[in-house]
Structure 1
């Protein structure tokens, strides 16, 4: 494994070790949390950066226990939240600045942050560019950003 955490190389892609970071956050605060993450980590993915995924809103539930900042509740309460998902080619103590940024920007006392060991694949630049399935080799689909049409 090299400095860039590359573990395997194939003619079309490489595999890298890292961490999948999932953060549940109220939808209104998701942009602020993502910007805080980007301030300390470029979220690179091959030739791209700022690569993140935000789910549709779902329901997060929790029950405050005695001693928490909020008043204890007898039953679980519900909050509409999204989940931010990113990959970083880091693990362990190397994640400290990213986690610190999330805690600073997140509105919760105890944010739900999951750190999952993961691998990702990244393309080898210049490979397979004439593939007819690539969006640039087809009539532009609606999902293709205007900047790439």
Structure 2
């Protein structure tokens, strides 16, 4: 046994020293919180179920919308705004008051229904923009022919 220690003692000391240096290197070079790269900005797509082509004055059309996110960040907020450029009508979220054109409003869910009520006897066209708090934005256009 003493012969083995004399023969391999120097090698064992070198291995222990190398192991101690490796442990120190790992401990001293650990990640700092500021160095972590956490993705928050996820692009999204907007899906809209088909809507009728024709609408009459006073008729309400349901528009089913789903925001499909490419990733999930819990602090992502989505907003909606709309602008009607032909005809007249009112767009609202469920039973909320109608949106004012070009006002930015928070969407509480990523799957929701909008209700457009025609207030015109001519063709009607409007766009909605859905955006997030990271600058991503999608535009959806709607056009209804008058049934009157």
Relative to the length of structure 1, the TM-score reads 0.27
Greater C-alpha Rg: 2
Relative to the length of structure 2, the TM-score reads 0.27
Q: Tell which has more relative contact order, 1 or 2 (C-alpha 8 A, sep 6+).
A: 1
